[in-house]
Every structure is written in C-alpha cells, then in structure tokens.
Structure 1
C-alpha cells in the first residue's frame, strides 16, 4: 500500500520545490532537452505568468511536493506535473479532477504530439482532440485538447 497524498493550494514557499519538480519531470519525459538550462526562464514564467493568474494545486506526500496542476480563469491547463516516481498512480487523475472542479465548464490544453503517454492519459480523462498547433516557445507540434462535462 502506498503512502497517501493530499492536495492543497500552492503557497509562495513551494516555489523552489515546484521548479525542481518541473525540471525533473520534464527531463525524464524528454531526456534530449537540457531543462536545467531552461530553469531560469521557467522560474520567471512561473512567477510572472502562472502564479499571478492561475489556480495552482499541489500534491504532497510526507511533506514532499510530488505534483501540481495549474488552471487559469479561462480554463487553460498550462501544467500538469507528476513526479516520475508517481507516474501510473492515481495522482494525475486526482489533479485532473481538481482542475475540473476549479473549471467545471471547460478545460483546454496543449500537449506535445510526440507525448503519446500524456495524450492517452488526457483521452482517458475525457479530453478530445480539437486541433493542432505549434508551441510558440519550443517550436514542437502540439495537439489542442478540450474537456467539457
């Protein structure tokens, strides 16, 4: 039996742990990209764009941050980050359920087209593909997905 986790609102003192978790998780998902080199950019984006605009829910287990989700007032889910040690657990489902609770009308997101694992996860949670685009930061092709109740 795994140790339970709990969800709560983000606090400013979670910043370092959230940045480190983002870097670790994305590095695991895309080992060919140097996410350490992007950490400064990410911290600035986190502070200046996400924290002021989005609801951020974090998941903790034994006082360690193990995941988070960000959802803005328009229903855009920018980040769903789960520690690689918890991939395949119920944690991502719990974070998505929380995003749906916070944005009950509609959620939109972009997911890298080469991230089949994430696309399957979102589809399993009721998200449908609604178009394609290119990530303006990375230049990678992305799939636009949407959830409506």
Structure 2
C-alpha cells in the first residue's frame, strides 16, 4: 500500500532531505558504482540537488519519501528513500509525471535491474542505449519512453 498522500514541489529548506533520499536510494540500488565514482557523483549531487525544482512524494506528515525531477518531458531523476522502496512511492511519482507528460522519456542505468523492471511495469519501452552515462562514466544507459 502506498504511503504517499500527495505530490508537491520541493521547498528551499528541503535540500538536506533530498540529499538524504538520494544517498539512501543509491546505496540500496547502485551497487555497480565504484567507490570513487560514488564519491564523485555524491559531490556533484550535493552541489546541484538542493537547488533543483523537485517534485516530492510526501506522507501524511508532509515528510518527503521520494522525489523526481522532470525537465521538458524528460524525467531526469527518480529516487525513493530506501525505507520506502516497494510501497508505491515511485509509482505515484511516475503516474504524476505521466499525467503532466504522457510521452515522458527517461534513462536508466543498464546495471540497475530493479529499475529496469520497474520502468517496464510502468509501461516504458526502450528506444536505445548509450555506452556511457551523462558524465562520460562507463555505466551504460538505456533510453526509455512512455508512449502514452
């Protein structure tokens, strides 16, 4: 059962919570990252995430459980706090994003089998593959689209 009560824009004072969600999510799902790359990505995320226009999925106490970032119909980020994985938080965020952008696109790390399965269940279809991630690291991306 989903714990999500609503989805709302992030507020300026919620940057630390966004980073906490990101770290817990990545630690639970991105075991393919080298420790050096994980540290470098963490530094990049800490500089960017607190200022990004995120959409938070929040519980009844308005506590953020997960977030997404959509730019021009492309889901740039979707992360759910590890404690709330499998409770419908990610699905609620994706459904919200699809209501705004029915043909939403996203990329997923090829090595993240759980995410690949999640996106397939949510109706996304592969459109291509890149051998490197967006920062040129050796983590192949699968490009996905939802066909509405």
TM-score w.r.t. length of structure 1: 0.83
| 1:69 corresponding residue in structure 2 | 68
Runs of 4+ displaced beyond 3 Å: 1-5, 31-38
1:84 Cα offset (Å): 1.3
Name structure 1 gaps, 5 residues minimum.
none
Q: How many pairs align?
A: 142
TM-score w.r.t. length of structure 2: 0.84
The residue correspondences of 1:1-149 to structure 2 (distance < 5 A) are 5-31=5-31, 33-34=34-35, 35=38, 38-46=41-49, 51=52, 56-61=54-59, 62-73=61-72, 75-104=73-102, 106-133=103-130, 134-137=132-135, 138-149=137-148
d(CA) in 2 for partners of 1:112, 1:4: 25
Name structure 2 gaps, 5 residues minimum.
none
d(CA) in 1 for partners of 2:50, 2:14: 12
The answer to whether the 8 Å contact 1:23/1:36 transfers is: no
